[in-house]
Structure 1
Amino acid sequence: MRNQNGISARGRLARLKSMALGSVALGSMVLLGVPGAALADDIGHIVRDYDAFTTTLDPVSAASRGDQAAAELWPDDSPKAEQTRLAQRLAFRDRLAALDQKALHGEDLLNARLIIWENDLAIESQKFDPSRMPFTSDEGFYQEIGYAADNTPLHSEADARHWLVRMNRIPDFNAQQIANMRRGIRTGFVQPRLIADIAAHTVQAQADLPERENPALRPFDSLPSTMPAATRHELRAQGERIVHERIKPSEKALAVFFAKEYLPASRSTLGASSLPDGRAYYVYLVQQETTTTLSPDQIFALGQSEIARIHREMQRQMDAVGFKGDFKAFVAHMKADPQFYVTTRLALLEKASFLAKKIDNELPRLIGKLPRLTYGVREVPRAIEEGYTTGRYDPGSPALGISGGLMINTSHLDQRPLYELPSLVAHEGVPGHHIQIALAQEMTDLPGFRRDYATTAFVEGWALYSEQMVSEIALYPTPYERFGQLSMEMWRACRLVMDVGIHWKNWTREEALSCLRDNTALAEKNIQNETNRYISWPGQALGYKIGEMTILDLRHQAEKALGTGFDERRFHDLVLDEGAMPLDLLRQRVQDWIAENRHAKP
């Protein structure tokens, strides 16, 4: 989920969740109106209050949905805001505890369970003060401005003046993050030097950008031509003054902070377990990202089992083309064969676009309910492509008329093999992230917190499952494409081993790199970038395979129980039509559906 600055909304939500699990709005009147349990309190009141509360947590996303009250605000991750948030969440916990859940049914019960899950995780996160470390290898708070800019079309003078207020508050937002990171330095809660170097390079590049190219000025390009030219000129001139007088000095101060303070204090160790209370923190992150009670050691063993299984499938594809060498020789052959590469950026985008339309043509027979929001294939911005992953999804906004985007990294074309492209398109585009996220955005009958809920295990699990789903429509026509799909699946299986290895078993970076080098056909550039990502973002890599395996298991249960009465389209609609949720709730939902439809089996 990306925009032109490179920050992903999916990544933003996960960052906010894993770093702070939301924050009240910087510059806002803090919402204290979360009442204690009243005599007439019921789940309806709680849902409305919780929905209002969560709207304040991420004003950037709220504004992108058209919430004018959030249009001048940035997230507030200050200790004071976190304490206010914690008090509000504890009040919600008390109100929920007073409910008789046995009397709840349907949507009311699902709403209650989702709030309890999300709220309890957020309360527990406060023990670890994760806002001390607000960046990873390819994402961070310093990209928030670009995300907001690309999701803030200015349709009127009022919109522009809201944006000018928000621009003026950017230095306060940056200063707050510096204060949090200084607290991390004092307490030893910092990123490894390897990751800090990447962040320092990014913020220095932002500081060096010419003022006229500052992302905060991009919204002014959307001012309507019907607005008087003098007004448009005056508004942009105000923005340029703010960039010159406020934003650029703040960006330079941030770059100095990273160079002079953060880099010298960064750690030589890699794993989260080396942080203060690090092992407890990692166990918490595992639960958050997988929505299960699996232990790190159980996940490690599961990853090893999946690696062995996928290797057997890969060997079948090697046999199918008559290759006589071993796995490494076959991978070397594929990496060296020019038929699997294009030579221009445009050609890669055209290949991705063709695959996307091929899937579009078959979607109605895979999924019953499809979103109205369209999507396009876009190039990852060249300013951030160097350390960027192969591709991501940039969600649109139905409220603001912004389409979704399948982002493709077009750098290093000699390391962008075409045999990986079908899986990438299916995962990041359709039927993966675009279908799931756009459908959720359009569920206007659900509370806002339900539409925005984004747990890695569900969101990434669905996207990884989608890579297998499209095998039914011949997206992998030869053993080479099938091998490429298996390599992509192996990549996610390796994540289970690598993430636990790094953060629980004290693996070195070389040990982690070897897992991908020895078991996948991924290009070396991708292997390097992805390993950095797992080092910097503990736990997040686990949700993909855990979620995919859960959805596959539920499908197999349904196929076995319903026989010829199994309807693939109905199953996919069932998984998607209540939005993202923890895997245990999804499992219960599917099993209830199986029980209700068992009579359809002949």
Structure 2
Amino acid sequence: MQYIIRCMLITSSLFITRNGIAQQKDLQQLFENYYRESLKLQPLDATFLGYHEYDDQLANDISAPYIAEVSRFDEKYLRSLSSFDKEQLTPADRISVDVLKKILTRDLESRKLHLEYLPLNHFNSIPLFIGQLGSGSSAQPFKTVQDYRNWIKRIAAFKIWAATAILNMKKGAEVGTVLPKVLVMRIIPQMEALGKDDSLNAFYTPLKTLPAEFTSVQKQEVSAELGKAIREQLLPAYKHLADYLKNEYLAQATDSSGLSGITGGAAMYRYYVKYYTTTNSSPEEIYQKGLDEVSRIRAKMELIKTRTGFSGTLNEFFAFLKSDPQFMPFKTPEQVLQAYRDVYAKIKPHLPELFSVFPKADFEIRRVESFREAGQNGPSYTLGSIDGKKPGVFYVPVPDATKISTISPALEATFIHEAIPGHHFQISLQQENTTLPTFRRSISFNAFTEGWALYIESLGSRLGCYTDPYQEMGALNNEMMRAIRLVTDVGLHTGKMTREGSIAYIMANLPTSEADATSATERYMAIPGQALSYKTGELEILRLRAMCEKRLGKKFSIIKFHDALLAQGDMPLTVLEKYINDWCARQ
């Protein structure tokens, strides 16, 4: 009998193992199917990721049929995921299941909020992405005749998108779901510039740079076809947007500074808080954390002010940092770009002290395109293609080089955050990690992505930076800016704070100009909740590192901790906590 029982146990174990292997194979296929179907639904994302099968398409993602189609897609994959036994999965696969469930449920939660009634902002929206792509210097290729014809088809799709945006904004206006007036006034000149029939318009650049290998007949045909599409479809679409915004929508826009002042706005904001922080924290809890962090960082600023020998108050020190010519040494845009190249050279030798795994992807430093420059309030990073052919780019806006400060935002801390080893390391390593399901190699949860970048800023002194008190102050300025966001973002969108109150609060706690404080405030107004992700993510990573240091003692290695943080790709903070706890236990 014991022999029979033993055989039954062995047989059962083998069945479970085989079942687990079969389940794992089925799960990997599900992940791949999900990814491929999602690219079809999001062809613009596919182009930016380097998949060019859909370069001729643009999803009308604000239309009712599309929203219904995506809802069916999300529900289908949630049902499929529920059929898997998580106990039979590997730890890595369990993470991927949790991540995909978060994505699908998050998308479904948004459907009832009518986010499509607010399709535009001046910071990032489909019209601005089309402007980037059509300039010929972004992800849309212009190398073959077919590439040009793909773009012509995408132009036709954008015309439909723009018309839908106007219809949706009219629906929103009817029920009181509208943008703030001040943001509408920022969007109008962008649409006017992109719709201007001028040879300097970036949309004409691909016609000026036709590939040399094109025959004269091909050049003639492509020039005629694309020129017609630009003049008759693309530019009029932007003009219609500008005219509607200026002549009709502006008068219906809200005087409120945030979502609390519009119909459905409170529910929208709760969704965005959850979306961007990947936590269950309430706006009130985040607001209080922001106040605490602002107080803590001000105390550190006081210490640095004393070290520099400055005898006035902290706010007088801010005024000195804003106005003294030594902190605005630039005369030309090239000098600004070179300053960032110098920071990169300083950091490079120290990277092995914090990492043992490095990305293969190329990296470039570029100036922001002119049509986007005025709307940007600081440098940013654009990811490279998933196949590594298109490099990651650190974009620097330089509308006026003489007004670019070295400490607000800080050159060193900003480069560490946006470029290396911040976003470029984290995003590139994720894209290059072939052990992850393909869908996870190209996703981003803001709290992880931005939390990592802010966390790594805090290690600038270990990267050869912050060697003088002013750059150290600059790093604190950057951290303070992220702490302030917890206060101002929540304040703006819950009615605690007006636009003017936010601007004043920023200027009271940072050595920044009114123009920069205004630009920052309007960014928070335009993208509710996104600004919360930085500090939320950083504080969670710091908490997890402290936990590992305490549990592991002398066995703790910061290199191994960093490699582990980046080894499993981007994930919600709730999933990250379990992953790091498991990793720490294995050490």
Q: Same fold (TM over 0.5)?
A: yes
> Which of 238, 244, 251 does residue 257 from structure 1 map onto?
244
Report whether the alignment pairs 1:120 with 2:105: yes
Q: 1:473 to 1:63 in 2, by over 3 A?
A: closer
Residue 330 of structure 1 aligns with an amino acid whose one-letter code is F
Alignment partner, residue 177 of structure 1 = 165
Residue 178 of structure 1 aligns with an amino acid whose one-letter code is I
Alignment partner, residue 489 of structure 2 = 499
> Which of 116, 134, 159 does residue 131 from structure 1 map onto?
116
Q: 1:545 to 1:141 in 2, by over 3 A?
A: same
Report whether the alignment pairs 1:432 with 2:432: no
Alignment partner, residue 74 of structure 1 = 58
Alignment partner, residue 16 of structure 2 = none
> Which of 302, 306, 309 does residue 293 from structure 2 map onto?
306
Alignment partner, residue 490 of structure 1 = 480
- Asked whether the 8 Å contact 2:106–2:275 carries over to 1, the reply is yes
Report whether the alignment pairs 1:167 with 2:155: yes
Alignment partner, residue 288 of structure 1 = 275
> Which of 555, 570, 573 does residue 563 from structure 2 map onto?
573
Alignment partner, residue 34 of structure 1 = none
Residue 101 of structure 2 aligns with an amino acid whose one-letter code is I
- Asked whether the 8 Å contact 1:271–1:506 carries over to 2, the reply is no
Runs of 5+ consecutive residues of structure 1 not aligned to the other structure: 1-38, 598-602
1:141-166 CA-to-partner distances (Å, cap 9, x unmatched) read 21121233321223333333222322
RMSD, aligned CA: 2.0
- Asked whether the 8 Å contact 1:271–1:504 carries over to 2, the reply is yes
* Pairwise CA distance, 1:116: 0.7
Alignment partners' CA distance in 1, 2:444 and 2:584: 25
Using the TM superposition, name which of 356-365 and 217-226 deviates more.
217-226
Alignment partners' CA distance in 1, 2:434 and 2:168: 36
- SS of aligned partner of 1:69: coil
1:155-207 CA-to-partner distances (Å, cap 9, x unmatched) read 33333322232233331221122222222222221110011111112111222
Alignment partner, residue 347 of structure 2 = 359
- SS of aligned partner of 2:372: coil
- Asked whether the 8 Å contact 1:167–1:239 carries over to 2, the reply is no
Q: 1:222 to 1:591 in 2, by over 3 A?
A: farther
Alignment partner, residue 71 of structure 2 = 86
Alignment partners' CA distance in 1, 2:437 and 2:566: 16
Alignment partner, residue 203 of structure 1 = 191
Residue 556 of structure 2 aligns with an amino acid whose one-letter code is F
Alignment partners' CA distance in 2, 1:245 and 1:541: 39
> Which of 114, 126, 130 does residue 141 from structure 1 map onto?
126
Count of equivalent residues: 558
Mapping for residues 110-509 of structure 1, pairs under 5 Å: 110-149=95-134, 150-210=138-198, 212-219=199-206, 224-344=211-331, 345-397=333-385, 399=387, 401-419=389-407, 420-509=410-499
- SS of aligned partner of 2:360: coil
Residue 371 of structure 1 aligns with an amino acid whose one-letter code is P
* Pairwise CA distance, 1:126: 0.3
Alignment partner, residue 85 of structure 2 = 100
- Asked whether the 8 Å contact 1:167–1:216 carries over to 2, the reply is no
Mapping for residues 517-556 of structure 1, pairs under 5 Å: 517-556=507-546
Alignment partners' CA distance in 1, 2:59 and 2:389: 24
Alignment partners' CA distance in 2, 1:221 and 1:436: 36
* Pairwise CA distance, 1:130: 0.5
> Which of 562, 581, 584 does residue 591 from structure 1 map onto?
581
Using the TM superposition, name which of 339-348 and 224-233 deviates more.
224-233
1:355-405 CA-to-partner distances (Å, cap 9, x unmatched) read 022223322322221111121221122333223211111222253722221
- SS of aligned partner of 2:53: helix
Alignment partners' CA distance in 1, 2:327 and 2:431: 36
- SS of aligned partner of 2:280: coil
Residue 92 of structure 1 aligns with an amino acid whose one-letter code is Y
Alignment partners' CA distance in 1, 2:329 and 2:566: 35
Alignment partners' CA distance in 2, 1:499 and 1:40: 42
- SS of aligned partner of 1:151: coil
> Which of 33, 45, 49 does residue 65 from structure 1 map onto?
49
- SS of aligned partner of 2:393: strand
| Percent of matched pairs sharing the same residue | 31
1:408-459 CA-to-partner distances (Å, cap 9, x unmatched) read 1222445422121111111111111111122222234433321221111011
Q: 1:400 to 1:99 in 2, by over 3 A?
A: closer
- SS of aligned partner of 2:251: helix
Using the TM superposition, name which of 179-188 and 491-500 deviates more.
179-188
Q: 1:40 to 1:385 in 2, by over 3 A?
A: closer
* Pairwise CA distance, 1:83: 0.9
- SS of aligned partner of 1:406: strand
1:243-263 CA-to-partner distances (Å, cap 9, x unmatched) read 122212222212111112211
Alignment partners' CA distance in 2, 1:189 and 1:131: 10
Alignment partners' CA distance in 1, 2:232 and 2:404: 42
1:4-24 CA-to-partner distances (Å, cap 9, x unmatched) read xxxxxxxxxxxxxxxxxxxxx
* Pairwise CA distance, 1:280: 2.1
- SS of aligned partner of 1:138: coil
* Pairwise CA distance, 1:507: 1.4
- Asked whether the 8 Å contact 1:154–1:220 carries over to 2, the reply is no
Q: 1:104 to 1:444 in 2, by over 3 A?
A: closer
1:459-481 CA-to-partner distances (Å, cap 9, x unmatched) read 11111112112221231111111
Alignment partners' CA distance in 2, 1:209 and 1:460: 38
Alignment partners' CA distance in 2, 1:440 and 1:49: 19
- SS of aligned partner of 1:287: helix
The TM-score, its normalising length taken from structure 2, stands at 0.91
- Asked whether the 8 Å contact 2:291–2:487 carries over to 1, the reply is yes
* Pairwise CA distance, 1:90: 1.6
Alignment partner, residue 35 of structure 2 = 51
* Pairwise CA distance, 1:219: 4.4
1:520-550 CA-to-partner distances (Å, cap 9, x unmatched) read 1223221110001111221111001000111
Residue 446 of structure 2 aligns with an amino acid whose one-letter code is T
- Asked whether the 8 Å contact 1:152–1:219 carries over to 2, the reply is no
Residue 62 of structure 1 aligns with an amino acid whose one-letter code is A
Alignment partners' CA distance in 1, 2:440 and 2:534: 20
- Asked whether the 8 Å contact 1:155–1:222 carries over to 2, the reply is no
- SS of aligned partner of 1:371: coil
Q: 1:472 to 1:215 in 2, by over 3 A?
A: same
Alignment partners' CA distance in 1, 2:569 and 2:133: 24
Q: Which runs of 4+ in 1 moved over 6 A?
A: none
- SS of aligned partner of 2:511: coil
* Pairwise CA distance, 1:98: 3.1
